[in-house]
Amino acid sequence: MLLVLGTGRCGTSDVARILHEELSVYMGSMFHLGDQFNRKGYYEDREFQSLHLSFYMMHLYEISETDQPELWKLWRERFQELLDKREEPWGIKDPGIADFPSLLNEYLKLDPKIILCTRDKEETIQSLMRFKGKSREEMEKIYNQRYENNMKAVEGRDYLEIDVYDTDKYGKIKAWL
């Protein structure tokens, strides 16, 4: 399993596209289509994103495992169902995973190979501001949180770092795999 991490607006979609289209890594069957911010598409598996959304909502409404064990049991069952449907090689990309260290830890338990996508901090924040239409302060907070959580995720692990402007992403990813 491959886990593509990044802060958002840092090349994760391009890396996921390369994995899926050029290196035959199954990244999903239904993706968000391209738009003015990402013409080639986002390559985020909609099944996993739906599951992630339910995880985010449970945290937003502060639904703990002790308060609602059946709800969490259902979430874990669905997570396992999605995992069981995948055949190697497969991967997942969703920068929002880094917003929730406990969700990120669910993936880290699978001992994935990690590709960390990077981009200059200021350029990333500016791109997040255009993409989300929010203030610099809000986007810098998201960037910092995701960056910190991604750094914790790769700590002590073998991972590949890919810069958004790297002209040989394909070659580097293929060689690392």
pLDDT at 121: 98
What value does the mean pLDDT of the chain take? 96
Q: What is the mean pLDDT of residues 130-135?
A: 96
Q: What is the mean pLDDT of residues 137-141?
A: 97
pLDDT tier for residue 3 given thresholds of 50, 70 and 90: very high
pLDDT at 27: 97
Is residue 107 within 8 A of residue 150, CB to CB? The reply is no
pTM of the full structure: 0.95
Is residue 130 within 8 A of residue 20, CB to CB? The reply is no
Q: With pLDDT > 90 as the criterion, what percentage of the chain qualifies?
A: 96
List of domains in the chain = 2-176 (3.40.50)
Question: Closest by alpha carbon to 131, among 35, 65, 47?
Answer: 35
pLDDT at 63: 92
The pLDDT tens digits of the residues spanning 49-80 come to 999 999 999 998 999 999 999 999 999 999 99
